[in-house]
């Protein structure tokens, strides 16, 4: 099978869906150029009416997408950094997420909010955040966080075809990563986790860039005879809780990894759902690895705040009750945040 | 374009209908019949929604505001009164199955409800206008808001987008002189809100909001501009709300109660009264006609209430169904 980058996978999904359905169009700040280079060739192919540059108005970008969706289109609202979503909190949380509900279910809002998230590029507190806990808190949105090129393409195609607002969070540090992607058309249903590796000692649950770090750690632990099962959730809403519970019943030990903050975060929510559904199967307390509850600093101290390989290895050691420390090497960063 | 006799009668009838519906909803609030905790009466401002919406195309779009919960706009656009009252009473036969309350939603009439944040739908209105422009069927979008909404950034983002892309939207500002309890002059540096639209290169007009014919004529100019691809317009209607910002709370105006004299001055130019006089003078309607219209519209409200009262409440099964579409 051919190998392409995560960036190209996003580009292929956009191109194919825009070819397939005239109702799909993109609007946002600098979408013709796109600093993440996920839009290469789109203007040439579809013109500036379907690849619409806007003023720097996040609220108008997302609000207009909601309006266009109500009126029969399938807009993709492009927000350059996920941190900027907060500028359009009303349009995202009150309008996109709630419109159908507050009108008794007689409308539908088929749209995608596509945005780049994540740290590890020393971007500082307003260019590094992962907003999934904020978004997951609000009923009415769907949330997708791909970790591989295969998922990036298949999930984006499904998101565009979904009849609800879907927030598509791609990770900056994964843009340059590569993986196998078939030439043939495929889609991936939302709400279906991917078991990246089967194992019997411990279940590690992760999303997006954390999956890459987890896989790196797990590989390093193979020589220690630790059998790890790794679950990539791929979407938070819908959440594939069944795959999680099946795995927990098998291993009895759980580590949950998320790049967003620990407090009121994804790790706590999933952890409690496991307690509610599978407490008696647990052989040890659940451990979580997430960002420390302080803003993300720019510069050399970023790594003190965001989850790192050693934190994950430590958590695995703790749930296994190991006496000695599991020492792992830090994951080598790929230069994903490259402004071209 | 001169209105026909029938069109004038329709405008008059719509003003009477929405006045009576508003009076009914005020009473329903005090009788404890409403499904939600508030009603924001629109009495005094009826000529605006009626004058703009009565002769729109069915496939044109209307965004209304919390003032009157859209009674003037949606009834004039064609929504049956029973749908509106049922929704206010929280019944499953309401336009949002009884869980929207202030929301009136009727996609087939181009009405997509109203949330709860002031100016919250302005960017949605720009998006619907973008869709209308892309589709090319000469539909227009009438986006109503109050003077109070002018302080919201989202409205300005939406106006900017509409001007930049020449979207077929008409920004309709009902300036009743008060943003909730704060007078307009305490919030804005200019007396006329329309003056500020020029900065976006949007042509603007200031119109007497009590005169339904003036409202209709001004709206037509803007609607024709939008239909012919010339882009957005802005109309500021000078008007007055007769009642308090919200029922149940006194009619405060910044540091004290609003003076009754001020409201009474406006009541001399009541939209219903001045249009009635005009129609009488023009010989369009006579006393017997007015009495007949009065009786018919009262019956409409009575029947709508009866329908709503007899309708069932929604069951909890709607909650999951309403959240996500298949």
A22-52: pLDDT as tens digits = 999 999 999 999 999 999 999 999 999 999 9
User: Which of A165-169, A220-224, B26-30 shows the lowest mean pLDDT across its residues?
Assistant: A220-224
Split at pLDDT 50, 70, 90, the class of A337 is: low
Quick one: average pLDDT of B155-164? 98
Q: How many domains would you assign to chain B?
A: 1
Domain span at residue B170? 5-312
- B23 vs chain A: nearest CA distance in angstroms? 24
Q: What is the CA radius of gyration of chain A?
A: 20
Q: Are both A95 and A232 inside the same structural domain? A: no
Angle of CA points B294, B295, B299, to nearest 5°: 115
pLDDT reported for residue A332: 78
Confidence check: pLDDT of B271 > 90:
yes
In chain A, the percentage of residues whose pLDDT exceeds 70 is 98
Split at pLDDT 50, 70, 90, the class of A339 is: very low
Q: In chain A, which residues touch B (CB < 8 A)?
A: 25, 49, 54-55, 57, 59-60, 62-73, 75, 90-91, 94-95, 98-110, 139-140, 142, 163-164
Q: Do A71 and B127 lie within an 8 Å CB cutoff?
A: yes
Whether residue A185 lies inside any domain: the answer is no
By CB atoms closer than 10 A (0-12, 13-18, 19+), residue B119 is: buried
Split at pLDDT 50, 70, 90, the class of A338 is: low
Whether residue B237 lies inside any domain: the answer is yes
Kindly report the CATH number assigned to the domain that includes residue A272.
3.40.50.920
Kindly report the CATH number assigned to the domain that includes residue A80.
3.40.50.970
Q: What is the dihedral of CA B214, B216, B219, B224, to 10 degrees?
A: -120
Q: Do A90 and B164 lie within an 8 Å CB cutoff?
A: no
Best A27, A61, A102, A113 residue to mutate vs chain B (most B CBs within 10 Å): A102
Q: Do A67 and B132 lie within an 8 Å CB cutoff?
A: no
Interface ipTM: 0.97
CA distance A232 to A249: 17
For chain A, what is the HEC assignment? Answer: CCEEEHHHHHHHHHHHHHHHCCCEEEEECCCCCCCCCCCCCHHHHHCCCCEEECCCCHHHHHHHHHHHHHCCCEEEEEEEEHHHHHHHHHHHHHHHCCHHHHCCCCCCCCEEEEEEECCCCCCCCCCCCCCHHHHHCCCCCEEECCCCHHHHHHHHHHHHHCCCEEEEEEEHHHCCCEEECCCCCCCCCCCCCEEEECCCCEEEEECHHHHHHHHHHHHHHHHHCCCEEEEECCEEECCCHHHHHHHHHHHCCEEEEEEEECCCCHHHHHHHHHHHHHHHHCCCCCEEEEECCCCCCCHHHHHHHCCCHHHHHHHHHHHHCCCCCCCCCCCCCCCCCCCC
pTM for the predicted model, two decimal places: 0.97
B321 touches chain A (CB under 8 A): yes
B159 three-state secondary structure: helix
Among A146, A180, A214, the domain boundary falls at A180
Split at pLDDT 50, 70, 90, the class of B115 is: confident
pLDDT reported for residue A105: 97
pLDDT reported for residue B280: 97
Quick one: average pLDDT of A188-214? 98
Split at pLDDT 50, 70, 90, the class of A176 is: very high
Q: How many domains would you assign to chain A?
A: 2
Q: Do A67 and B124 lie within an 8 Å CB cutoff?
A: yes
Q: Are both A45 and A153 inside the same structural domain? A: yes
pLDDT reported for residue B299: 98
Cβ(B161)–Cβ(B167) below 8 Å: yes
Whether residue B98 lies inside any domain: the answer is yes
The residue from A39, A99, A127, A171 that is catalytic is A127
CA distance A314 to A204: 12
Whether residue A334 lies inside any domain: the answer is no
Quick one: average pLDDT of A303-315? 97
Q: Do A106 and B112 lie within an 8 Å CB cutoff?
A: no
Whether residue A260 lies inside any domain: the answer is yes
Q: Which residue has the higher pLDDT, B182 or A60?
A: A60
Give me A223's structure tokens.
């020589």
Cβ(A212)–Cβ(A146) below 8 Å: no
Residue in B with minimal Cα distance to A161: B326
Q: Which residues pair with B142 in a beta bridge?
A: B62, B170
Whether residue B323 lies inside any domain: the answer is no
Q: Are both A208 and A172 inside the same structural domain? A: no
Q: What is the dihedral of CA A304, A309, A311, A315, to 10 degrees?
A: 170
Q: Which residues pair with A26 in a beta bridge?
A: A51, A76
Confidence check: pLDDT of A294 > 90:
yes
Q: Are both A173 and A203 inside the same structural domain? A: no
Question: Which residues on chain B are in Cβ contact (under 8 Å) with A189?
Answer: none
pLDDT tens-digit map of A106-150: 999 999 999 999 999 989 999 999 999 999 999 999 999 999 999
pLDDT reported for residue A229: 98
B94 touches chain A (CB under 8 A): yes
Whether residue B119 lies inside any domain: the answer is yes
Split at pLDDT 50, 70, 90, the class of A340 is: very low
Q: What is the mean pLDDT of chain A?
A: 96
Residue in B with minimal Cα distance to A237: B324
pLDDT reported for residue A335: 59
Whether residue B320 lies inside any domain: the answer is no
Active site residue A127: yes
**Count of beta carbons in the 10 Å neighbourhood of residue A262:** 18
Cis status, amide bond into A98, omega within 30 of 0: no
pLDDT reported for residue B180: 87
Whether residue A189 lies inside any domain: the answer is no
Domain span at residue A229? 194-320
Whether residue B282 lies inside any domain: the answer is yes
Q: Are both A227 and A105 inside the same structural domain? A: no
Q: Are both A154 and A206 inside the same structural domain? A: no
DSSP structural state of residue B110? T
B235 three-state secondary structure: strand
Confidence check: pLDDT of A313 > 70:
yes
Cβ(A101)–Cβ(A139) below 8 Å: yes
Q: Give residue for tokens 């540096």.
A: B189
Q: Are both A161 and A83 inside the same structural domain? A: yes
Split at pLDDT 50, 70, 90, the class of B116 is: confident
Split at pLDDT 50, 70, 90, the class of B255 is: confident
Q: Do A64 and B97 lie within an 8 Å CB cutoff?
A: no
Q: Are both A70 and A170 inside the same structural domain? A: yes
Q: What is the mean pLDDT of chain B?
A: 96
Strands A142-144 and A165-171, by their bridges, are parallel
Q: Are both A103 and A221 inside the same structural domain? A: no
Give me A220's structure tokens.
């390093």
Q: Are both A112 and A230 inside the same structural domain? A: no
Whether residue A188 lies inside any domain: the answer is no
Q: Do B123 and A63 lie within an 8 Å CB cutoff?
A: yes
B265 touches chain A (CB under 8 A): no
Whether residue B321 lies inside any domain: the answer is no
Kindly report the CATH number assigned to the domain that includes residue B223.
3.40.50.970
Q: Are both A103 and A158 inside the same structural domain? A: yes
Whether residue B52 lies inside any domain: the answer is yes
């Amino acid at each position: 099978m051919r190998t392409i980058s995560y960036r190209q996978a996003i580009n292929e999904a956009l191109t194919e869906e825009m070819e397939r359905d005239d109702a799909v169009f993109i609007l946002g700040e600098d979408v013709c150029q796109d600093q993440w280079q996920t839009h290469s060739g789109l203007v040439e192919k579809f013109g500036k009416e379907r690849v619409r540059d806007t003023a720097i108005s996040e609220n108008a970008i997302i609000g207009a997408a909601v309006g266009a969706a109500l009126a029969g289109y399938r807009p993709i609202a492009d927000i350059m950094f996920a941190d900027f979503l907060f500028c359009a909190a009303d349009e995202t949380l009150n309008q996109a997420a709630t419109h159908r509900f507050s009108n008794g279910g007689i409308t539908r809002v088929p749209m995608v909010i596509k945005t780049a998230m994540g740290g590890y590029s020393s971007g500082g507190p307003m260019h590094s955040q992962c907003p999934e806990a904020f978004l997951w808190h609000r009923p009415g949105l769907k949330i997708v966080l791909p970790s591989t090129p295969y998922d990036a393409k298949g999930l984006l195609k499904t998101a565009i075809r979904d009849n609800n607002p879907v927030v598509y969070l791609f990770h900056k540090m994964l843009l340059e990563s590569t993986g196998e992607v078939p030439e043939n058309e495929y889609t991936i249903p939302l709400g279906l986790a991917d078991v990246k590796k089967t194992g019997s000692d411990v279940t590690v649950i992760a999303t997006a860039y954390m999956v890459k770090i987890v896989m790196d750690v797990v590989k390093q632990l193979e020589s220690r005879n630790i059998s790890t099962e790794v679950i990539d959730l791929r979407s938070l809403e819908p959440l594939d809780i069944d795959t999680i519970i099946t795995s927990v019943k098998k291993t009895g030990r759980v580590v949950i990894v998320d790049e967003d903050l620990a407090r009121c975060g994804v790790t706590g929510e999933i952890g409690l759902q496991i307690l509610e559904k599978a407490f008696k199967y647990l052989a040890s307390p659940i451990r979580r690895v997430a960002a420390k509850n302080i803003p993300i600093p720019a510069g050399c101290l970023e790594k003190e705040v965001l989850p790192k390989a050693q934190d994950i290895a430590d958590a695995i050691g703790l749930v296994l009750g190991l006496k000695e420390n599991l020492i792992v090497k830090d994951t080598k960063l790929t230069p994903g945040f490259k402004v071209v | 374009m001169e209105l026909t006799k029938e069109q004038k009668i329709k405008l008059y009838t719509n003003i009477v209908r929405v006045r009576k519906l508003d009076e009914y909803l005020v009473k329903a609030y005090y009788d404890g019949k409403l499904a939600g905790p508030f009603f924001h009466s629109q009495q005094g401002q009826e000529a605006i929604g009626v004058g703009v919406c009565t002769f729109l195309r069915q496939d044109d779009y209307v965004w209304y505001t919390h003032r009157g919960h859209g009674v003037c706009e949606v009834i004039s656009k064609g929504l049956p009164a029973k749908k509106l009252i049922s929704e206010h009473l929280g019944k499953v036969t309401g336009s949002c199955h009884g869980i929207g309350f202030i929301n009136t939603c009727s996609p087939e009439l181009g009405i997509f409800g109203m949330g709860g944040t002031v100016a919250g739908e302005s960017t949605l209105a720009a998006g619907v206008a973008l869709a209308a422009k892309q589709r090319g069927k000469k539909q227009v979008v009438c986006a109503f808001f109050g003077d109070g909404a002018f302080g919201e950034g989202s409205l300005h983002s939406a106006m900017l987008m509409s001007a930049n892309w020449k979207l077929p939207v008409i920004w309709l500002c009902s300036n009743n002189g008060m943003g909730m309890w704060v007078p307009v002059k305490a919030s804005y540096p200019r007396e006329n809100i329309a003056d500020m639209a020029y900065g976006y290169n949007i042509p603007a007009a200031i119109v007497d909001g009590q005169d339904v014919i003036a409202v209709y004529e001004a709206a037509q100019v803007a609607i024709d501009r939008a239909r012919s691809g010339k882009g957005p317009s802005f109309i500021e209607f000078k008007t007055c709300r007769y009642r308090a910002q919200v029922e149940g709370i006194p009619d405060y105006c910044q540091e004290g109660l609003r003076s009754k004299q001020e409201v009474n001055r406006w009541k001399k130019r009541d939209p219903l009264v001045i249009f009635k006089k005009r129609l009488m003078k023009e010989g369009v309607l006579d006393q017997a006609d007015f009495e007949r219209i009065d009786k018919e519209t009262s019956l409409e409200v009575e029947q709508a209430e009866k329908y709503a009262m007899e309708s069932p409440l929604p069951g909890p099964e709607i909650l999951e169904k309403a959240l996500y579409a298949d």
